[in-house]
Amino acid sequence: MSASPPRPWIRAAIFLGVAYIVIGRVFAVPTDHVQAWRLAAWAISGVVYAAHIWYEHFTLRNSPRVAGAHVAMAVAIGGFGLAVAGLIHSLSSGSGIRPAWLIAIVIWPVMLAIPAFLGAYVAGSVLPSQSAER
């Protein structure tokens, strides 16, 4: 029995989830002008988020509900990865495992995925459908 290839949305969710992690970690490195770097990370993450909604809606032609779920999955992957990165950083700084990081591993993905889903659902609902453009 052969395994079927992953669906395009799964590859996109994993790729973009990792992109959120990389953006969050890379833009946390500079120690000068921290607020500007954080704003830049938010802006770039916003572009990634909008591009994912666009891809789900116009390329994959998914309904707003399905597109919202896929976008939320990518955001949840990013939130989980950033929580794990924070836990690892906490361990490397010698402070040990704090319960807050264990809670963050669960809470961050959920806390980020819910508004990501709602935003993508609303965006998918107001964007014109492909059939209307032809």
Question: pLDDT digits over 93-131, tens only?
Answer: 877 778 898 999 999 999 999 999 999 999 999 999 865
Is residue 2's pLDDT more than 80? no
Q: pLDDT category, 92, cuts 50, 70, 90?
A: confident
Give the number of residues written for the chain.
134
- Residue 36 in this model has a pLDDT that exceeds 70: yes
Percent of the chain topping pLDDT 90:
76
85, 56 contact by CB (below 8 A): no
Task: Report the percent of the chain where pLDDT is more than 70.
Answer: 93
pLDDT recorded at residue 89: 86
- Measure Cα distances from 133 to 58, 124, 125, 127 in Å: 11, 15, 15, 11
Q: Tell me whether residue 38 is exposed, middle or buried, using C-beta atoms within 10 angstroms of its C-beta: 0 to 12, 13 to 18, 19 or more.
A: middle
Residues 132, 120: Cα–Cα separation, whole Å: 20
Q: Where are the domains of the chain?
A: 8-126
Confidence of residue 132 (pLDDT cuts 50, 70, 90): very low
CA distance 131 to 72: 25
55-79 pLDDT, tens digit per residue, is 999 999 999 999 999 999 999 999 9
Cβ 41 vs Cβ 98: under 8 Å: no
Is 80 exceeded by the pLDDT of residue 10?
yes
Claim: this prediction has a pTM higher than 0.75: yes
Of 97, 69, 68, nearest to 83 by C-alpha is: 97
Indicate the average pLDDT of the chain.
Answer: 91
